[in-house]
Amino acid sequence: MSAKVDSILRKRLSFTFGAGRVPTLVALAFVVLFLIFETAYFWSTTGIEVDRIAFEYDGFSQAIYAAYLAAALYLFFLYILATIASRWRFRLVYLAIFAFALLVEYSYQFALGRFTTYYDLIAAISATGEQKADSISAFVSYIWLVPFLVLVAVCFAVGKRLQKFGWKMLAMLFVVTLAFYLHLSFVNPAFFDGRFTSSSFGMFWTSVSDFAVRNPIQLSPITRETVEAPANANVPNNNVIFIFDESIRADHMSLNGYERPTTTYLDELQRKHQLVNWGTASSASTSSHPSYDAFIAGATPEQIETLSLRQLNSMPTIFQYAKAMNYKTTLIDGQMMKYWGGAPDDLNYIDEFDSLAVIDNPNRKEDYQTASNKITDEALRTNGLKQWEIDTKIAERVNKIFTSSTGNFIFIYKRGCHFPYEKNYPENEEHWKPVYHFHEQYEIPPADKVGAIINSYDNSLSYNLDDFFKTLSKDYSDLPNNTIIVYTGDHGESFFANGKAGHGGETKGEAAVPLFILGMKDRTVDTGFKASHANMFTTLLDLMNYPEELRKYPYAISLFKAKAADSRPRYFNPSLEKRVPFD
């Protein structure tokens, strides 16, 4: 029997394209060990996928999944075989792509507990330099070096006489691989609910192919659909202020029943019936960029799941509707030095854009922009506002606007409570100890530090919200100039549960955001309704009195019309094509 097997292996089998026995066996051994390594290291992902296939699929679906998985793994085997059995100038190409794919996929697993999706590629391409620096600092993981260096060592160990393949194999392999994954991009949503998973290398090609299918190259810039101005639109006699706060988790606010007094000033406003509170709402996404993109367009979770980013960024924004109703539109951003969300066309509908460069100064530097990427003492900052002072400056600026004029729509993107949490409040405002001090801007703290991390966050939340709202207005019983303020967060936080990033994942806590309104008069609402970001968009349209019959899409129901009985199961979208239940 062994002689027969040996005889077969000595032949140059067609499925190896003429490669000899030694490189075939070495490639096969590498693939098996690679899969074992990834299964063990990424068990949180692998285990979920195994359970889903075992319990959600019938026998026929499991057979289809197995067939596609076998094809994906065979292509991966061919890739490794070609790497081993090619001449060095071609090996370098294979190795470079392999290294990049593993770096990206392992880093996303490290930070977010998942492989990439095509939306991650879109976000990376459209990101500003600051955001790219953020992402690299936040997500990079070096565990990818383990399989990569093993493969390099194997290439050196294999003799030159076995280097058979050249450019023909390289071209053929890439054509076949792209053909398979482009095909998978079409069948994946139908057969596997868009969740087909193979190896990290396969998931890299899946994301690339999905990007090519869903976002074909278009030379024309993205422009927003136009919004019709009502014939009877007058100069408005009120102010509408919308606050999009950074990294605010609703269930850590005493306003919503949290045991620590983290929102004492807001609690007082609620007791005085000056604050109308819907409690915990669901955000559009669990990270800033997609959450902002979806919110300003009023996209529902269903639309986010089915539309491409180009289509989403072509929907009219809240700024366009405000302009159509003759509001002066203002965007105040305490996050970045220039416009970073939505589409460049958005700035055509924003009369005044005050970025961090305006709020502070154009020379401001963050920790992640330094060569060392180490956390500095915020109290020693000399190149601008302390981080905890930014939102106070925004509040002062907005107060001057709405107390002295009408006809303003102001969108505030606060600096908020993004990690590192301890940089969001002065040291004398530490109410809960011990706190966790970050060593690097975007490090992932150890799991046993969760308590200290939560202490840091609660301190951040307490200081930021109290200081901001006390500065924004001295009296909320009767805001001047018919001003009304709608407040929510862009997303919540995970507190680095299971070693994952503070947000950007799929846990409910990362999508749990607050929702309340200040200055509301003569309106009866039902705060028992289970709200989401999409409901806030139409609420803003109602506050602007934009006619329902002229609205471009069938948006979600407004909070002014919704009753508790209208509540439906809510969803959020951690990535563009994926909906996750919130309730």
- Average confidence score pLDDT of the chain: 89
Domain ranges of the chain: 7-214, 241-249+279-365+385-417+471-581
Token pair in block for residue 144: 């990818």
Name the CATH architecture for the domain at 241-249+279-365+385-417+471-581. 3-Layer(aba) Sandwich (3.40)
Residue 524 phi/psi, 5-degree rounding, is -105, 125
pLDDT exceeds cutoff 50 at 336: yes
SS3 of residue 346 by DSSP? helix
Listed residue (317, 319, 327) closest to 401, CA to CA: 327
H or E element at residue 173 = helix 167-192
Strand partners, 484: 240
Per-residue pLDDT, 383: 85
Using CA atoms, how far apart are residues 37 and 33, in angstroms rounded to an integer?
6
Average pLDDT over residues 16-37: 90
pTM above 0.75, yes or no: yes
Task: Round to whole Å and give the CA distance between 138 and 102.
Answer: 16
pLDDT, tens digit, 9 for 90 and up, residues 261-288:
999 999 999 999 999 999 999 999 999 9
Residue 388: which pLDDT band, with cuts at 50, 70 and 90? Answer: very high
Instruction: Report, as an integer, the average pLDDT of 223-232.
Output: 93
- The answer to whether residue 322 scores a pLDDT higher than 80 is yes
Beta-strand pair 239-245/578-581? unpaired
